[in-house]
Amino acid sequence: SRRVSPELLPVRHICVSSSLWKKNLAAAGPQKFTQEFIDKQVEEFEIGKRHLANMMGEDPETFTQEDIDRSIAYLFPSGLFEKRARPVMKHPEEIFPKQTAIQWDAEGRPFHFLFYTGQQSYYSLLHDVYEKILAMERHQDKMRNKGLLTSETKQILLTGSRWLLKEEIEEYLVENISDHDYMRLIQLMEKLLSMPYCSLEEEFILKFRKQLEVQSSKHEIPALQYDPQGVTFSVADGRRKTAKASITLRDSGSGNITINGRNYLHYFPLLQDREQLMFPLHFVGMLGRFDVEGSVEGSGHSAQAGALRLAISRALLSFVSEGDVEKMRQAGLLTADPRIKERKKPGQEGARKKFTWKKR
Residues in the site for other proteins, rule: CB under 8 A? 102-104, 106-110, 113-119, 123, 127, 130-131, 134
Residues whose CB is less than 8 angstroms from the CB of residue 5 and which lie 6 or more positions away in sequence, other chains included:
none
Smallest gap from residue 357 Cβ to other proteins (A): 51
Q: Which is nearer to other proteins, 76 or 130 (CB)?
A: 130
Smallest gap from residue 126 Cβ to other proteins (A): 8
Smallest gap from residue 177 Cβ to other proteins (A): 12
Q: Which is nearer to other proteins, 117 or 187 (CB)?
A: 117
Burial of 34 (0-12, 13-18, 19+ CB in 10 A): exposed
Smallest gap from residue 121 Cβ to other proteins (A): 13
Smallest gap from residue 181 Cβ to other proteins (A): 10
Residue 147: CB atoms within 10 A of its CB come to 6
Smallest gap from residue 102 Cβ to other proteins (A): 7
CA distance 303 to 268: 12
Nearest alpha-carbon partner for 253 in 293, 281, 290: 290
Coil, strand or helix at 198:
helix
Q: Which is nearer to other proteins, 169 or 311 (CB)?
A: 169
Q: Which is nearer to other proteins, 42 or 188 (CB)?
A: 188
Backbone phi, psi, residue 295, to 5°: -130, 135
Is the dihedral angle over the CA atoms 22, 25, 28, 31 positive or is it negative?
Answer: positive
Q: Which is nearer to other proteins, 123 or 279 (CB)?
A: 123
Q: What is the dihedral of CA 326, 328, 330, 332, to 10 degrees?
A: -150
Q: Which is nearer to other proteins, 15 or 134 (CB)?
A: 134
Coil, strand or helix at 62:
coil
Nearest alpha-carbon partner for 307 in 249, 235, 245, 259: 245
Please report how many Cα atoms fall inside a 13 Å half-sphere around the Cα of residue 104, on the Cβ side.
8
In single-letter form, the type of residue at position 101 comes to: A
Q: Which is nearer to other proteins, 43 or 141 (CB)?
A: 141
Smallest gap from residue 110 Cβ to other proteins (A): 7
Please report how many Cα atoms fall inside a 13 Å half-sphere around the Cα of residue 272, on the Cβ side.
5
Smallest gap from residue 214 Cβ to other proteins (A): 40
Q: Which is nearer to other proteins, 39 or 128 (CB)?
A: 128
CA distance 125 to 185: 9
Residue 67: CB atoms within 10 A of its CB come to 16
